[in-house]
Structure 1
């Protein structure tokens, strides 16, 4: 079982380290690259900036940071965008991702619509999000990276998603 707390500036380095391990592991598995991740994934200042711009939660297991998630709610909190979710590869496939989404759906009960995006090559992500009621609604081609990003949304009652 994991617990969730809002991140503090002193957590930025640990969050950057966990993100780097997580996204670099995906890059090795699915892209044959040693390193690769979304903008700011390995930057301590970027982590601190996101704490100011959104709701940045840390996932804790035995008092250590094992993951994080960044949520950008609308002013009414009727819509939320999941900007990023990541779990250290050593802690994946243990149900923590499911716990994290359930936490968010309970934490933001006014949210009638959730959105997120993920790379087209991230097959595990697609399965995970679809298992939790997200539906693919679009695709954006990023010419700079030569990759496609899939857009997802989830609407309706969310507290029991995936349960």
Structure 2
């Protein structure tokens, strides 16, 4: 098994984070006609990195992706974005990253995330990790695009 760990992103990583996000979400652009919210904005990346909740995924000393979370001060965390570089996909790295982020915030029992309605691999991935679909959101009523909301409640 490769050595996989999370490293808090710094301002020096902002361009790398954005470039890798744009690459990782290019299929979403092709499928839905748009990128996920904010990833085209370097200012958004700067703001998120400054919150100290944006992590680089490192695999055998090489950048392999990122995970950005929101919340964690009280009882709930939302996973804003998780992306793994194509070179590192299908190697169980995403599953390991999810275990690592959950252990980073071991005091949190409620986890949420949103993923596009036609991202079937994501649905399978999150469900395999114990997430349950709890809702649907249509951000723009004039567009057919929907997000599925997933939730996981850890019991102790």
TM-score, length of structure 2 as denominator length? 0.88
For residues 32 and 42 of structure 2, the distance between their equivalents in structure 1, rounded to whole angstroms, comes to 25
Runs of at least 5 residues in structure 2 that lack an aligned partner in the other structure = none
For residues 19 and 62 of structure 2, the distance between their equivalents in structure 1, rounded to whole angstroms, comes to 12
Stretches (4+) displaced over 4 A? none
Distance of aligned partners of 1:65 and 1:127 in 2 relative to their CA distance in 1, 3 Å threshold? same
Q: CA deviation at 1:54?
A: 5.5
Distance of aligned partners of 1:7 and 1:145 in 2 relative to their CA distance in 1, 3 Å threshold? farther
Specify which of 119, 122, 126 is matched with residue 119 of structure 2. 122
Partner of 1:10: 12
Q: Secondary structure at the match of 2:25?
A: helix
Partner of 1:99: 96
> Which digits, 9 at most, give the CA deviation of each residue in 1:118-162, with x for residues without a partner?
11011110000000000000001122653000001000238xxxx
For residues 6 and 32 of structure 1, the distance between their equivalents in structure 2, rounded to whole angstroms, comes to 30
Quote the RMSD (CA, aligned, Å).
Answer: 1.9
Is the CA contact 1:14–1:65 (under 8 Å) kept in the aligned structure 2?
Answer: no
Partner of 1:139: 136
TM-score, length of structure 1 as denominator length? 0.85
For residues 97 and 110 of structure 1, the distance between their equivalents in structure 2, rounded to whole angstroms, comes to 21
Partner of 2:39: 41
Q: CA deviation at 1:43?
A: 3.2
For residues 102 and 11 of structure 2, the distance between their equivalents in structure 1, rounded to whole angstroms, comes to 25
| Count of aligned pairs | 153
